Amino acid sequence: MGLTAEASSEGTLTLPIAGDSERLVRARGAMFLVTTHQGDVTPAGARELGLFYKDTRFLSHYELEVVSCRTVSLGAETSHPAYNQVDLMLSDPEREELLEDPSNFLHIRRRQVLDGGLVEEIVFTNFLLRPCEIRVVVHFGVDFADVFEVRGAKRAKRGTARRARIEGAAVVLGYSGLDGRTYETVVSFGVAPAELVADRAVFELNLPPNQNYTLEVRVAPVVDGATRSKPGRPFAQSAEIRTNEAKAFRASSTSFTCDSGVLQGMLDQSCDDLHALRVEFDHHAILGAGIPWFCAPFGRDSLIAAYEALTFNPDFAAEALRTLAAYQGKKVDLVTEEEPGKIFHELRFGEMARAREIPHSPYYGSIDATPLFVVVADALDRTTGDTAFLHELRPALEAALGWIDARSEFATRLVRYERRTKDGLLNQGWKDSGAGVSFPDGRRAEAPIALVEVQGYCADAYRRGASLFRRLGDAERARVYDERAALMRELLNRAFWMPEANRYAYAVDGRERVLPTIVSNAGHLLWSGVVPPDRATATAGTLLASSSFSGFGIRTLAADQPVYNPLSYHNGTVWPHDNALIVKGLAAYGLHHEVLKAFDGLYAAMSYCKDRRLPELFCGIGKRSGALVRYPVACSPQAWASAAPFLLVQSILGLEADAPRGRLVVKNPRLPASVRKLELKGMRIGSALVDIGFRRVGKRCHVDKLDVTGGPLKTEIEID
């Protein structure tokens, strides 16, 4: 029936592992495709591969076979804004009559674009001096697995597979879900196959000498009879539409140009990836967190990625804030951990969420998304100065600050988390793995837990909330939140500073035990601006010491801690977004040497990213031991990793927007040794567009050119 795994009403799917094969990724919002480097989804049902749409896998097996011939990979490319391209050839055919011909005689080019589904163009080119006959089989299958099943969740019961239907040159494969929905995958072909059954299509091709033949395949997801696919739209038209969309997005965003090929490639790919990760649903839009496991709205991830990308395109922040405000908590719900004013952690669209097998509809188990909501709202307003949007957002801001008030008892207690449901997250900060909050010897912290960076976020949210209300004309409310910001800063510095160690603790657990573990989280306090200057210098020294700084970036946990594991998820790896926020904080405190050291570490990591993408994370094994070591299941692309290069550039250049006052401040700009020239064009500050260029001369950085259109905008350059 075209199914790649058991789909009965009992039991769970048994799914194989794809292994170490290089993967190709193509995303468009809530739809994404992950294949092998040959463009296939194989072995059938492999956990890491497939065509997914809104948390359901609509294609779990897809394989191109040329019968009795060996296919050799020539290359694979994902850099085109519209499609992935795979080049293959046939080599050493087994048929005796061809043995005197060249061993490499037929070229296959596969190009795959997402246009409401998968659209693939397969071009066969015969380089023999005579006709060539080949038998081509396109294998396909489905399992309609929820993304949580693909990740390993066990279900007591599944829906029911529907009988496959052959309709002309198309096969319809279906599934009735436990959520009452009907899921279908329509596999269709531009020309009728010689043979078409529920799991394969066979084509008998007779290729003239030096001629080619084009085969088009379309795989369309359908839910309750509705699909975004455009029937009959050829590959060329789909690719052109997607290319034009990418060009229009680039034209609306800041253009970054530099003389470093490594950094330029990273910035260009980040532009394409952020555009591709934008998820649209129910009249909302927001950055999805990452592929393959997190292609969905995440409060924390979407907010941080949008913050990092403010100088690139502030629309991401506006969309995230508007979307998250629409789903802001209204009541107390122990199953979803919803609370009044709280910003959700994760929203899912698949069968398991709709059938209430998981609490992600949405799930609110995040301790930091709510203060980050206020932080990003202020940062966006400083970038755009959009008073109308600020007034629109005011009720959500009041509710978010009210949530912090309730949790902190008006800035007199630490903000803590403890899950309310067995299906919820044990740890609810950004290091949310089970071992993510541990003592140096590996003992787990006990709930309720207060994380050091969360107290910083809350103090910063109070401070920024005061600024927002001051701009809204509410001086009294601004005064109240200024006072609470001061109280929260004092509480944080009193509870977490360890004078004997000259550094901040990681957390305080439910037994009031201080976790002295050396972690990167303390660096976020610099970004939040909540520590005295002398403690900022000490914090920077801790983070950039050899035990914490790997040479490729700052580790999540220092190598001299017994619990350190550079291969773990959070206990010794390097996360680009984590580093970018720390670099922003270092720059704010004027720690320029440390800024460039941290930047150079991530730049060194970039040089090992062949796909021009910073991954979600990589292993914390030091630079001295050799090349960068990848984390095997890191998301790539991943929104806050993709956005990190833009915040890094903003930080080294000292760019600070103040649109409400009509100002752009360039404070103590620096360029690293790897970059001599860097230019930004079309950067939005209020109603102005700014072009600004920087040039390194010796150890100094000059503002090489400056042009402002629109406005008004006053540019101030500050050099110490």
Q: Are residues 539 and 651 in the same domain?
A: yes
Q: Specify the pairing of strand 83-91 against strand 104-114.
A: antiparallel
Phi-psi sector, 392: left (phi>0), alpha (psi -120 to 50), beta: alpha
Residue 182 has pLDDT above 60, yes or no: yes
**Band of residue 719 on the pLDDT scale cut at 50, 70, 90:** confident
Whether 698 maps to a domain, the answer reads no
Residue 160 has pLDDT above 80, yes or no: yes
The torsion of the CA quartet 338, 340, 341, 347, rounded to 10 degrees, works out to 20
**ω into 208 cis (within 30 of 0):** no
**Band of residue 95 on the pLDDT scale cut at 50, 70, 90:** very low
Task: Report whether 366 contacts 347 (CB < 8 A).
Answer: no
Q: Quote the mean pLDDT of the chain.
A: 94
**Band of residue 18 on the pLDDT scale cut at 50, 70, 90:** low
Whether 577 maps to a domain, the answer reads yes
DSSP alpha helices (H): ranges in 224-357? 235-251, 261-276, 299-308, 315-326, 351-354
Q: Are residues 262 and 224 in the same domain?
A: no
pLDDT value of residue 16? 75
Whether 220 maps to a domain, the answer reads yes
**Band of residue 6 on the pLDDT scale cut at 50, 70, 90:** very low
Sheet containing 278-281: which strands, arranged edge to edge?
278-281, 284-290, 294-297
Question: Where do we find the tokens 């299941």?
Answer: 633
Q: Which tokens go with 500?
A: 């004997």
Task: For residue 613, give the CATH number of its domain.
Answer: 1.50.10.10
Residue 100 has pLDDT above 60, yes or no: no
Residue 25, SS3?
Answer: strand
Q: Are residues 165 and 282 in the same domain?
A: no
Residues 6+ apart with CB under 8 A from 94: 68, 69
Average pLDDT over residues 693-697: 95
Average pLDDT over residues 301-324: 98
Residue 11 has pLDDT above 60, yes or no: no
Sign of CA dihedral 467, 470, 474, 476: positive
What pTM does this model have?
0.94
Residue 169 identity: A
Question: Where do we find the tokens 């260029």?
Answer: 693
In the chain, % of residues over pLDDT 70? 96
438-456 residue pLDDT tens: 999 999 999 999 999 999 9
Distance between start and end Cα atoms, the chain: 71
Closest CA to 428 of 310, 619, 300: 300
Residue 460 identity: D
Whether 686 maps to a domain, the answer reads no
What is the distance between the alpha carbons of residues 608 and 672, in angstroms, rounded to a whole number? Answer: 18
The residues with which 294 forms a beta bridge, in sequence order, are 290
Q: Which tokens go with 493?
A: 């510095």
Q: Provide the 8-state DSSP code for 158.
A: -
pLDDT value of residue 98? 47
pLDDT value of residue 34? 96
Q: Are residues 438 and 565 in the same domain?
A: yes
CA distances for 500 relative to 496, 503, 689, angstroms:
12, 8, 50
Q: Are residues 164 and 287 in the same domain?
A: no
Q: Are residues 385 and 515 in the same domain?
A: yes
Average pLDDT over residues 601-605: 96
Whether 9 maps to a domain, the answer reads no
Average pLDDT over residues 677-695: 97
The count of residues in the chain is 720
Q: Are residues 510 and 624 in the same domain?
A: yes
**Band of residue 139 on the pLDDT scale cut at 50, 70, 90:** very high
Residue 94 has pLDDT above 70, yes or no: no
Average pLDDT over residues 271-291: 94
pLDDT value of residue 123? 97
What is the distance between the alpha carbons of residues 57 and 176, in angstroms, rounded to a whole number? Answer: 14
Task: Report whether 434 contacts 426 (CB < 8 A).
Answer: yes
Average pLDDT over residues 587-616: 95
Residue 693 has pLDDT above 70, yes or no: yes
Q: Which tokens go with 353?
A: 């969420």
Residue 715, SS3?
Answer: strand
Q: Are residues 226 and 329 in the same domain?
A: no
pLDDT value of residue 84? 96
pLDDT value of residue 14? 72
The secondary structure of 437-478 as a DSSP string is SB-TTSPBP-SSBEEHHHHHHHHHHHHHHHHHHHHTT-HHHH
**ω into 562 cis (within 30 of 0):** no
- Torsions phi, psi of 357, nearest 5? -80, -20
**ω into 672 cis (within 30 of 0):** no
Domain boundary among 242, 268, 299: 242
What is the distance between the alpha carbons of residues 497 and 456, in angstroms, rounded to a whole number? Answer: 13
Residues 6+ apart with CB under 8 A from 342: 328, 329, 364, 369, 370, 400, 403
Q: Are residues 83 and 162 in the same domain?
A: yes
Q: Are residues 59 and 197 in the same domain?
A: yes
Q: Are residues 267 and 323 in the same domain?
A: yes
Longest dimension (CA), the chain: 90
The secondary structure of 639-707 as a DSSP string is HHHHSHHHHHHHHHHTEEEEGGGTEEEEES----TT-SEEEEEEEEETTEEEEEEEEEETTEEEEEEEE
Task: For residue 204, give the CATH number of its domain.
Answer: 2.70.98.40
Q: Could you tell me which residue, 231 or 110, shows the higher pLDDT?
A: 110
Residue 7 has pLDDT above 80, yes or no: no
pLDDT value of residue 3? 54
What is the distance between the alpha carbons of residues 690 and 706, in angstroms, rounded to a whole number? Answer: 7
CA distances for 310 relative to 294, 304, 549, 718, angstroms:
22, 10, 27, 21
Q: Are residues 620 and 471 in the same domain?
A: yes
324-348 residue pLDDT tens: 999 999 999 999 999 999 999 999 9
Whether 285 maps to a domain, the answer reads yes
pLDDT value of residue 20? 57
Average pLDDT over residues 555-563: 98
Residue 193 has pLDDT above 60, yes or no: yes
Residue 97 has pLDDT above 50, yes or no: no
Sheet containing 677-685: which strands, arranged edge to edge?
255-258, 677-685, 688-697, 700-710
* Domain span including residue 274: 252-667
The residues with which 719 forms a beta bridge, in sequence order, are none
Cα of 490 vs its chain's centroid, Å: 34
Residue 618 has pLDDT above 60, yes or no: yes
Whether 15 maps to a domain, the answer reads no
Domain boundary among 222, 242, 262: 242
Domain boundary among 207, 242, 277: 242
Residue 21 has pLDDT above 70, yes or no: no
What is the distance between the alpha carbons of residues 696 and 159, in angstroms, rounded to a whole number? Answer: 62
The residues with which 575 forms a beta bridge, in sequence order, are none
Listed range (49-63, 85-99, 452-466) with the worst mean pLDDT: 85-99
State the SS3 of 78-120.
CCCCCEEEEEEEEECCCCHHHCCCCCEEEEEEEEEEECCCEEE
pLDDT value of residue 92? 55
Q: Which residues of 375-386 are buried (b: 16+ CB within 10 A; e: fewer)?
A: bbbbbbbbbbbb
**Band of residue 99 on the pLDDT scale cut at 50, 70, 90:** very low
Number of domains in the chain: 2
Residues 6+ apart with CB under 8 A from 232: none
Whether 711 maps to a domain, the answer reads no
- Torsions phi, psi of 687, nearest 5? -95, 5
